[in-house]
Amino acid sequence: MIYLLQNVNLSLSKTLLFGTLLQACAELVEVPGETI
């Protein structure tokens, strides 16, 4: 059970990190008319 929770937590962390990277890239690119 604990292992499962740790695994889910790791997946969430990766997802959050990926989302943050995507947002940072989007801000750097600054495509006109597109907002994330």
- Per-residue model confidence as pLDDT tens digits over 16-31: 999 999 999 888 887 6
Q: Is the pLDDT of residue 33 over 90?
A: no
pLDDT band at 35 (very low <50, low <70, confident <90, very high): low
Rounded CA-CA distance 28/20 in Å is: 12
What is the reported pLDDT for 32?
66
Q: 0.85 cut: is pTM over it?
A: no
Angle at 16 between CA 12 and CA 19, to 5 degrees: 140
pLDDT average, residue stretch 4-26: 90
Residue 36 has pLDDT above 60, yes or no: no
